[in-house]
């Protein structure tokens, strides 16, 4: 069995004042005497026998006696000399030899950081690996109960699957701790610095994350207030990028000073597109025509809608490729993001179609014509989730005083950067400055699926002069914002708190779907603020300066 011993340098100095070289020598030549007496004994023996032998050899030289003729006392002196020499060599040489064998060891031994040494009980005092830990976590120092030690050993040896710990133990926190310890022993690498305590592991069981060993901390900043449709919102943003929250906050300030922004949800429907195959292209075409017949759509809607209280089929769009047919179902999903909801409805429809088209082969419930978590023209054109447009008019004075630029420069930059530049790059839905920055930060803070940032960040930013060119009209059009206020990560405590801050926590009882639509407009409003501020920074030549101030640090965070 392996165990972890921690040697804190400050503790070692205050209690024993024993150097690491002394510890190494004591490990190499364990003796019953205290270390300081052992050292004194061997130093005395070494110099005494050296002095004795030198005197004897000088006498032999004077008397012309051969040196190889030795007495019993000289033999004993030579033996003592060899023994003391070996001890002193080990005492002074172990650290030097280890520094050659294990690169970087010597340079780390004087560090004030805590040192972790993993020792194998089967081979006492044999150092397997030492790991220098940058961040100390209190629970790492706690010894596991004997029962848990046995389970850890079973996981390491492969007798108990790591994924089954929650079901076997009935305690998610305990399962995470045991899995964490088993992982450290298996890999020989420490997870100190990755928090374990302070998280409700029962809340993620079977729905958010499997085989947890801790959780990652991401700071949450607040941008705002964002004045949107007459209401002020404080927008939570989870990010590790310096300057992002500050920049979005400046955009919110400009919008507030201009009387606020307005928004509209123009489409609301989640999609799923299975792929089916027939023996001929003609049969695939027959199903396409069948699905596009209005009378058949009504019958299919009844089957689809029976799978959920909130899921309502809106339309079916088909695309044919030879013998293969891609069927894109679009439905409303209430306040849920809706992927599971639409998938259930689609499965019901496929079961019905299989009875009417027995030669239909269902290849997959998703054929990528949906399209989920991938940049796709179908989402850019047809929309997916919530399609939102958001706009504001920024007076000339606000542009000059708050954004530190002018209307003409912003309009020109937007045309050459967001429109022309993106077209030159062959962008798909990327006609913006950094919409994905804001979308990702808000998504992580509110428990959305971060991977859906791919299509949710599709955005075209428009800027033009109005009122004789004095004021700035700015807008963002985002056709596929995929958000929900129930299900998934939205129920976790931290994410739920951020949703509550926005006033969109949970499902709306009065108007199903209104909370998720409101969250989508807040995302678009925050993107509008972020676009306005970043474009102004670029136009004013402030981008590099601001990032040098907020996004770089001379601090060595490993020592904090």
Catalytic option among 2, 317, 373, 470: 373
Q: 371 — phi, psi (to 5°)?
A: -115, 135
Q: Alpha carbon of 99 to those of 6, 95, 305, 339: distances in Å?
A: 20, 6, 70, 56
User: Is residue 241 annotated as a catalytic residue, yes or no?
Assistant: yes
E strands present in 239-323: 262-272, 275-277, 312-321
Q: What contacts 381, CB < 8 A, 6 or more positions away?
A: 479
User: Is residue 547 annotated as a catalytic residue, yes or no?
Assistant: yes
- Other CB atoms closer than 10 Å to residue 238's CB: what's the count? 22
Catalytic option among 113, 150, 241, 391: 241
User: Is residue 372 annotated as a catalytic residue, yes or no?
Assistant: no
Catalytic option among 2, 317, 470, 547: 547
Peptide bond into 133 cis (omega under 30): no
Taking the alpha carbons of 192, 197, 199, 203 in that order, is the dihedral positive or negative?
Answer: positive
Catalytic option among 166, 449, 482, 531: 449
Q: Report the distance separating Cα 391 and Cα 261, nearest Å.
A: 6
User: Is residue 373 annotated as a catalytic residue, yes or no?
Assistant: yes
Under DSSP, the state recorded for 418 is I
Residues forming beta bridges with residue 223, ordered by sequence position: 235
- Other CB atoms closer than 10 Å to residue 469's CB: what's the count? 12
Q: What angle do CA 140, 141, 142 make, to 5 degrees?
A: 95
Q: What contacts 14, CB < 8 A, 6 or more positions away?
A: none
Two tokens at 397? 């004075």
CB 131 within 8 A of CB 19: no
Catalytic residues: 241, 373, 449, 547
């Amino acid at each position: 069995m392996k165990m972890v011993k921690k040697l804190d340098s400050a503790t070692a100095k205050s209690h024993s004042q024993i150097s690491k070289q002394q510890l190494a020598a004591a490990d190499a030549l364990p003796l019953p005497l205290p270390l300081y007496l052992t050292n004194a004994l061997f130093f005395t023996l070494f110099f005494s026998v050296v002095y004795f032998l030198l005197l004897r050899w000088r006498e032999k030289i004077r008397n012309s006696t051969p040196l190889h003729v030795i007495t019993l006392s000289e033999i004993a002196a030579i033996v003592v000399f060899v023994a003391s020499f070996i001890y002193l060599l080990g005492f002074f040489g172990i650290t030097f030899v280890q520094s050659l064998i294990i690169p970087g060891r010597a340079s780390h031994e004087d560090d004030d950081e805590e040192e972790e040494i993993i020792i194998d009980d089967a081979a006492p005092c044999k150092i397997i690996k030492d790991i220098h830990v940058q961040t100390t976590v209190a629970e790492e120092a706690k010894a596991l109960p004997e029962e848990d030690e046995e389970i850890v050993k079973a996981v390491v040896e492969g007798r108990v699957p790591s994924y089954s710990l929650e079901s076997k133990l009935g305690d998610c926190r305990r399962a995470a701790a045991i899995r964490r310890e088993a992982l450290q022993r298996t890999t020989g690498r420490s997870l100190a610095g990755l928090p374990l305590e302070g998280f409700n592991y029962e809340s993620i069981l079977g729905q958010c994350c499997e085989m947890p060993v801790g959780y990652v901390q991401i700071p949450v900043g607040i941008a705002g207030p964002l004045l949107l449709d007459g209401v002020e919102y404080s927008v939570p943003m989870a990010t590790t990028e310096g300057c992002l929250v500050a920049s979005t906050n400046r955009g919110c300030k400009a919008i507030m000073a201009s009387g606020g922004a307005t928004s509209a949800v123009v489409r609301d429907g989640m999609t799923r597109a299975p792929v089916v195959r027939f023996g001929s292209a003609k049969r695939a075409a027959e199903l396409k025509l069948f699905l596009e017949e209005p009378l058949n759509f009504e019958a299919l809607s009844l089957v689809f809608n029976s799978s959920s209280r909130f899921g309502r089929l809106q339309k079916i769009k088909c695309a044919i490729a030879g013998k293969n047919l891609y069927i894109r179902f679009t439905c409303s999903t209430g306040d849920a993001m809706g992927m599971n909801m639409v998938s259930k409805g689609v499965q019901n429809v496929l079961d019905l179609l299989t009875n009417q088209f027995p030669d239909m082969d269902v290849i997959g419930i998703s054929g990528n014509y949906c399209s989920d978590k991938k940049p796709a023209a179908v989402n850019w054109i047809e929309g997916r989730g919530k399609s939102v447009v958001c706009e504001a008019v920024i007076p000339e004075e606000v542009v000059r005083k708050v954004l530190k630029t002018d209307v003409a420069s912003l309009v020109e930059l937007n045309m050459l950067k967001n429109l022309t530049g993106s077209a030159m790059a062959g962008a798909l839905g990327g006609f913006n400055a950094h919409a994905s920055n804001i979308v990702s930060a808000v998504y992580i803070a509110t428990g959305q699926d971060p991977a859906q940032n791919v299509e949710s960040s599709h955005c075209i930013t428009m800027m033009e002069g109005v009122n004789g060119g004095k004021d700035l009209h700015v807008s963002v059009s985002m056709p596929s914002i995929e958000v929900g206020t129930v299900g998934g990560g939205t129920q976790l405590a931290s994410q739920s708190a951020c949703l509550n801050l926005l006033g969109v926590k949970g499902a709306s009882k009065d108007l199903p779907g209104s909370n998720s639509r409101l969250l989508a407009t807040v995302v678009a409003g925050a993107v509008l603020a972020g676009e306005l501020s970043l474009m102004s920074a670029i136009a004013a030549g402030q981008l590099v300066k601001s990032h040098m101030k907020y996004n770089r640090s001379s601090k060595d965070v490993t020592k904090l």
